[in-house]
Chain A
């Protein structure tokens, strides 16, 4: 290659000796300041290696004398965020829950805080967005509530849970296992199912349904009401509407009456701070089914009283 080097006539500069289709490259000397910039970069790099984590070792990297780490950066940022949020959190804590909707900005902050907590604690059962899981966990987005859909009721349910055996204030009721325990026989259950499907507009009135109505009044009306409108004080669902947690077809209804589920929800009052519970309530309330009118205040239900829920 060296032999192909020549001096370019126009510039007086040597070429490097390569040639591509007649195009040659000049061996123009680098400007000296470039060299100094290069040295400066080396000095900078040396300083950086000493100050910051740099060399990978077996288990971790060298720490650097400044002791900087992205983890402590994150901690600092989280701390700063908590401090920034503090005034809002305090304001939410100081505002009675039922007054929150009247303060849109505070309400919005509470809903957002609730959404964050929901994603951590609630989505496992109720699903992202509170849609619930068919035949397992109720949807929180509809307008059909088992225990009440106003803010106070929702908060109470979150704080005390449903059917927590070790907690006095928990929401509790128990639907008897009419089939399993032999309270009703298969034909009777079929008649009750017919009646339930008639009052929910899924079947035309029939002789079976008429027989079922008598059985319903004797066994079910105590909790579900004479018309099947349900009773929120005992978490007895409305049977006349289109929303069915465990299914409204014949098979599902039969299965429910034979062996009810009596679903359980953990209580959060002792695990989460009151502000978080409050924010969770506003979030659930905001999902679309929140009810403005508050339900009549409940007398605290003690364990064992769930037997009242019997037919």
Chain B
């Protein structure tokens, strides 16, 4: 970094090497909260594909499954078809608004606690401490010569990294196929090449991003910190070093020698030592801070030791910081959380969720899409009737075979039949057996008397014949030759 005297910055380096980060072990309420979240998120990630869910004979029994080959998405009792992708879009919108909500209320909480990059980095940093020892030992080892001890420690550490990375990639593919089957196939070399490729790529990315890139991902690669900065306002909670209370810094000894001359910060550097991104929060809010709150735990521990009140570093809004600086008292946390902005976000978020749940409950699982064949638009039949051809797409989205009827409404004298039938057997409706969880494509022939309008709207409808009469209908045209043709 250029010295402050260098006012041109001409000599600033073009490229900066990564500074090593060796976060110190720390304990405290936020650290324990982080442990809990890490446990929950990892358990969800590794465990979800193994949850079973009985859907009967005709559908997979995996609770959460993205079945790309058959183009189905299963999530517990919900099954989503490709044409219902708007539910997935809705979920993504909810996720987006959810992040807005969280950010406006508690700042970068996503970054600090739940982001996979944070969770895996945290996991890998625990591995570092397990193999190499705490911060100081790690620094010594990193700067020391390549002794046998260093080589073996590095080898063990990277092996553990690799194992975690491999399990991470391995768990990912379980979401896309029946997990127990795929596991067996994977280890017996029978899985699809794409499965091995996916595991290889994810192993590599986890190993590199979690083992080596770490905070560099947050600082240089991730767009989210930039977006979050725009989402936050002066009422969002931020990890803040309360400089008005801490400055000027001085050791306990100096403070004893000159009572009243120093602030509460004893300049012990513990907050820097524990920071997983290696920054000094006392320089003020900055992009490198993921608000993991570990420095709060560290400082609270120090304050307790020296017998001063906790919270020299604490969650604090910019508004409260100004108030406290002026000698006032900040608002209670509840007040900062519940304000119009967060309530509006929450309102939108839950409205979308409620609307999706409602429509999920309402959707029929028998769907009809009709296409009028264009070539030919109509067929002159021998007896003077006109026939039109239609292509029907019947989606049976239930996991049971179904018997359904196709009927027409609003077309006088219409007789319908399918490829399986013929005009001799044509009638007012056709009955069709639908395979479970599948699309049936049908050619439907409809003959009607030739005297009528050249183009006429009518309805083709389908409904269940097996107890559930709900169905679907489509308005479509019947064409006849223009008069004189």
Which A positions have Cβ atoms within 8 angstroms of B? 2, 5-7, 10, 12-15, 27, 29-35, 104, 127-131, 139, 141-144, 201, 238, 241-243, 286, 288-290, 292
Contacts and interface: CB of A to CB of B under 8 A. Distances in A.
A5 B383 contact: no
Closest 6 CB pairs of A and B: A14-B9, A131-B376, A129-B375, A241-B382, A29-B16, A242-B384
B181 interface: no
A102 to B, nearest CB: 11
A2 B8 CA distance: 7
Contact of B381 (A2, A29, A129, A142): A142
B382 A31 contact: no
Given A12-B2, A27-B9, A242 B381 contact: yes
* Chain B contact residues, majority secondary structure: loop
Contacts of B56: none
Contacts of A12: 1-2, 4
A143 B1 contact: no
Nearest to A6: B7
B468 to A, nearest CB: 26
B401 to A, nearest CB: 16
Interface string B372-385: 01111001111110
B130 interface: no
B321 to A, nearest CB: 16
A31 B6 CA distance: 21
A238 B4 CA distance: 103
B380 A243 contact: yes
Contact of B13 (A29, A129, A290): A29
A30 B16 contact: yes
Contact of B9 (A7, A31, A32, A241): A7
Interface of B: 1-2, 4, 6-10, 12-18, 213, 216, 220, 283-284, 373-376, 379-384, 387, 389, 419-420, 422-423, 443, 445, 450
A128 B375 contact: yes
Interface centre among B1, B4, B374 (most CB of A within 10 A): B1
B110 to A, nearest CB: 23
A288 B387 contact: yes
A143 B423 contact: yes
Interface centre among B10, B283, B373, B419 (most CB of A within 10 A): B419
A141 B374 CA distance: 13
Contact of B14 (A10, A29, A131, A142): A29
A32 B16 contact: yes
Contacts of B387: 141-142, 288
Contact of A242 (B9, B284, B373, B382): B382
Nearest to A292: B422
B249 to A, nearest CB: 18
Nearest to B484: A249
Contacts of B13: 29
Contacts of B213: 33
B379 A32 contact: no
Contacts of B6: 7, 14
Given A31-B220, A32-B17, A127-B375, A5 B381 contact: no
A288 B445 contact: yes
Nearest to A241: B382
A252 B15 CA distance: 88
A14 B12 contact: yes
Nearest to A291: B422
Contacts of B4: 7, 12
Contacts of A201: 384
B8 A14 contact: yes
B15 A30 contact: yes
A29 B383 contact: no
Given A5-B8, A5-B9, A27-B9, A142 B379 contact: yes
A34 B213 CA distance: 11
Contacts of A144: 381-382
Given A14-B8, A139-B379, A129 B14 contact: no
A2 B420 CA distance: 83
Given A32-B17, A129-B376, A243-B381, A13 B284 contact: no
Contacts of B382: 142-144, 238, 241-243
B111 to A, nearest CB: 19
B16 A143 contact: no
B376 A141 contact: yes
Contacts of B379: 131, 139, 141-142, 288-289
A33 B216 contact: yes
A286 to B, nearest CB: 6
Contacts of A32: 15-18
Contacts of A128: 375
A286 B419 contact: yes
A212 to B, nearest CB: 22
Given A241-B382, A286-B443, A31 B15 contact: yes
Nearest to A7: B4
A238 B9 CA distance: 97
A31 B218 CA distance: 13
A241 B383 contact: yes
A33 B284 CA distance: 27
Given A32-B18, A129-B375, 15 more contacts: A5-B8, A7-B6, A29-B16, A30-B14, A30-B16, A31-B220, A104-B420, A131-B376, A141-B379, A141-B387, A142-B380, A142-B382, A143-B382, A144-B382, A290-B422
A7 B2 contact: yes
B12 A27 contact: yes
Contacts of A31: 15-18, 216, 220
Contacts of B216: 31, 33
Contact of A143 (B220, B376, B381, B389): B381
A242 B447 CA distance: 14
A32 B381 CA distance: 78
A127 B6 CA distance: 81
A129 B379 CA distance: 11
A273 B207 CA distance: 58
A13 B17 contact: no
A118 B389 CA distance: 18
Contacts of B374: 129
A34 to B, nearest CB: 7
Contacts of A286: 419, 443
B376 A139 contact: yes
B132 to A, nearest CB: 22
Contacts of B443: 286
Nearest to A201: B384
Nearest to B6: A7
Contacts of A13: 1-2, 9, 12
A10 B284 contact: yes
Given A29-B16, A288-B445, A141 B7 contact: no
Contacts of A33: 18, 213, 216
A292 B420 CA distance: 11
